């Protein structure tokens, strides 16, 4: 089976910063996994999905990758009780097309539907409803894991609590997630009533977030990083609930416009980003309340294929942190002030309050507090120096960084973020570029 691993130079993470060749195998059937594990012995191995992680947690330059995207079959679906079992390579897009017409939705979803079930578990993803539903791992009933030292096993929260907790949010390091069974969320239609509210200050954001948490299932805010002075922290707050008004029509994955080339540098300059942010704020400030299909509310960027190319040939570095409640107001303000002063502003700065539902994973990122996600065009050391300054603010506040979005976290910052990292029940064969960087 060693010939199944092929060297490819077109395998990147979503940030498109790391561009080293990767050795990849793409099995079509589950019974091919064990032979691939045997073929990789003596090296390291990592199972990956659609590689929507931004940094290097889905790359393994010195070892091998198993691309799970063709192991995408639906194994079982109970439309009465809302329980789904599928292979790990099944995408959220495929799952939604099956379950939405039956009145069900994913319990938690990120801002793209082009992620796999296995990837969602390995990163214990969160969404706009974290305050109401917690992280994705809370809704995993069982999963199949294939390890190099134990073979196949079925894990539940009760059957092997330690290994289950290691696998939820475990970045694919505890073995190959072969399949998973999840509980779904009941919906009354495929449409949401979405209210869009402009706010002028960070204090106004906190007021909106607090007022919305009890009565709205989904909340999220975009913040204009270019604003400074009295306008520091201005943005657009969106909150939504499912509505019974509408049909159970699933989205279609028909062809959509694609970004055909890397954006030129002038679009990534402070004036270019500042103009975009000002226009975006003005366009949304008067949006009011509208009925929206879930595709438009949850996945607006999916309408533009290869949108990551808008950040230019050098790619992008995403930075996502979470700040605990006691320090969140001061730390978030300091983060925005530091970014505005540096003038390396972000196109997409998303701010959300997390709830206090505990995540089940040992390395789960989502926890009580406020999370800020930022996309920066990669300007090399200049950008990395800014992110290091942001690290210091997050560390002083007792916060954490998100491995799924990271491409440059230091090992000390990783250990601050996840103090129980050494308890991870890692498969001795599994590794990644990220793990070698933060755990060495």
Full DSSP string of 46-59: EEESS---SSSTT-
pLDDT in tens, 264-287: 876 767 777 777 777 777 777 777
At residue 1, the pLDDT reads: 44
Same domain, 92 and 58: no
233 assigned to some structural domain:
yes
Same domain, 297 and 351: yes
- The CATH number for 56's domain is 3.30.43.10
Same domain, 255 and 384: yes
Same domain, 237 and 296: yes
Q: How many domains does the chain have?
A: 3
DSSP string computed for 59-116: --TTSEEEE-TT---EEEEETTTTEEEEETT-BHHHHHHHHGGGTEE-SS--S-S--B
Beta bridge partners of 290: 194
With beta carbons less than 8 A apart as the criterion, state whether 189 and 242 touch.
Answer: yes
In percent, the amount of the chain with pLDDT more than 90 equals: 84
- Residue among 116, 125, 58, 110 at smallest CA distance from 359: 125
428 assigned to some structural domain:
no
The b/e string for 166-189 (b: 16+ C-beta within 10 A; e otherwise) is bbbbbbbbbbbbbbbbbebbebeb
Strands 22-25 and 64-67: parallel
Same domain, 51 and 139: no
Alpha-carbon span 122 to 412, nearest angstrom? 22
CA 178 to chain centre: 20
- The CATH number for 165's domain is 3.30.465.10
At residue 94, the pLDDT reads: 98
At residue 95, the pLDDT reads: 98
Same domain, 241 and 206: yes
438 assigned to some structural domain:
no
Residue range 311-322: mean pLDDT, rounded: 94
- The CATH number for 238's domain is 3.30.70.2520
At residue 276, the pLDDT reads: 72
Same domain, 226 and 324: yes
At residue 4, the pLDDT reads: 87
Alpha-carbon span 261 to 409, nearest angstrom? 29
Same domain, 174 and 263: no
Same domain, 164 and 242: no
At residue 256, the pLDDT reads: 74
The predicted model scores a pTM of 0.95
Which of 101-110, 168-177, 219-228 has the weakest average pLDDT?
A: 219-228
Which structural domain, as residue segments, surrounds residue 11?
Answer: 2-67
Same domain, 178 and 235: no
Strands 6-8 and 185-186: unpaired
290 assigned to some structural domain:
yes
425 assigned to some structural domain:
no
At residue 2, the pLDDT reads: 45
439 assigned to some structural domain:
no
Query: 3-class SS at 135?
Result: coil
Same domain, 180 and 215: no
State the SS3 of 207-257. Answer: HHHHHHCCCCCEEEEEECCCCCHHHCCCEEEEEEEECCCCCCCCCCCCCCC
Residue range 342-353: mean pLDDT, rounded: 88
User: Given 150, 171, 187, which residue is the final one in a domain?
Assistant: 187
End-to-end CA distance of the chain: 30
- Residue among 144, 208, 172 at smallest CA distance from 361: 172
- Residue among 433, 371, 435, 304 at smallest CA distance from 13: 433
Alpha-carbon span 396 to 412, nearest angstrom? 13
Q: Check whether 3 has a pLDDT greater than 80.
A: no
Other C-beta atoms lying within 10 Å of the C-beta of residue 160: 16
Same domain, 271 and 384: yes
Alpha-carbon span 196 to 177, nearest angstrom? 39
Cβ-based neighbours of 222, under 8 Å, separated by 6 or more = 235, 236, 238, 280, 284, 348, 349, 350, 351
81 assigned to some structural domain:
yes
- Residue among 417, 314, 413, 311 at smallest CA distance from 363: 417
Residue range 307-336: mean pLDDT, rounded: 95
372 assigned to some structural domain:
yes
At residue 325, the pLDDT reads: 98
Q: Check whether 219 has a pLDDT greater than 90.
A: yes
Alpha-carbon span 319 to 55, nearest angstrom? 10
- Residue among 96, 95, 102 at smallest CA distance from 79: 102
User: Given 187, 220, 235, which residue is the final one in a domain?
Assistant: 187
Alpha-carbon span 108 to 185, nearest angstrom? 9
- Residue among 27, 28, 145, 136 at smallest CA distance from 92: 136
- Residue among 123, 148, 143, 126 at smallest CA distance from 135: 126
Q: Check whether 310 has a pLDDT greater than 60.
A: yes
């Amino acid at each position: 089976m060693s010939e199944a691993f092929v060297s490819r130079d077109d395998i990147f993470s979503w940030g498109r910063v790391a561009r080293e060749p990767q050795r990849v195998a793409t099995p079509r059937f589950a019974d091919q996994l064990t032979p691939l594990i045997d073929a990789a012995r003596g090296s390291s191995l990592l199972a990956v999905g659609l590689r929507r992680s931004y940094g290097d947690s889905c790359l393994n330059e010195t070892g091998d990758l198993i691309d799970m995207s063709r192991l995408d079959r639906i194994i079982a679906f109970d439309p009465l009780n809302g329980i789904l079992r599928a292979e790990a390579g099944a995408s959220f897009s495929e799952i939604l097309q099956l379950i939405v017409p039956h009145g069900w939705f994913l319990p938690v979803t990120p801002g793209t539907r082009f992620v796999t079930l296995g990837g969602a578990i390995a990163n214990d993803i969160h969404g706009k409803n974290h305050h109401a539903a917690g992280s994705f791992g809370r809704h995993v009933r069982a999963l199949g894991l294939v390890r190099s030292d134990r073979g196949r096993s079925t894990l539940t929260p009760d059957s092997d609590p330690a290994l289950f907790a290691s696998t939820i949010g475990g970045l694919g390091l505890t073995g190959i997630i072969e399949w998973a069974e999840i509980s779904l969320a009941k919906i009354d239609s495929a449409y949401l009533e979405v209210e869009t509210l402009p706010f002028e200050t960070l204090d106004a954001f906190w007021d909106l977030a607090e007022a919305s948490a009890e009565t709205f299932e989904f909340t999220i805010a975009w913040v204009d990083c270019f604003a400074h002075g009295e306008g520091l922290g201005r943005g657009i707050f969106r909150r939504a609930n499912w509505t019974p008004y509408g049909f159970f029509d699933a989205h279609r994955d028909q062809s959509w416009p694609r970004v055909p080339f890397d954006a030129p540098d002038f679009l990534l300059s402070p004036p270019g980003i500042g103009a975009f942010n000002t226009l975006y704020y003005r366009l949304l400030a008067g949006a009011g309340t509208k009925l929206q299909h879930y595709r438009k509310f949850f996945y607006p960027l999916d309408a533009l294929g290869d949108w990551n190319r808008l950040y230019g040939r050098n790619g992008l570095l995403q930075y996502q942190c979470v700040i605990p409640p006691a320090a969140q107001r001061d730390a978030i303000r300091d983060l925005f002030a530091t970014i505005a002063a540096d003038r390396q502003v972000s196109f997409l700065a998303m701010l959300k309050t997390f709830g206090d539902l505990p995540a089940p994973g040992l390395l789960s990122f989502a926890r009580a507090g406020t999370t800020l996600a930022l996309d920066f065009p990669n300007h090399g050391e200049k950008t990395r120096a800014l992110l290091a300054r942001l690290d210091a603010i997050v560390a002083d506040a007792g916060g954490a960084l998100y491995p799924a979005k990271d491409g440059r976290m230091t090992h000390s910052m990783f250990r601050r973020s996840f103090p129980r990292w050494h308890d991870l029940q890692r498969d001795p064969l599994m590794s990644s570029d990220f793990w070698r960087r933060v755990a060495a």
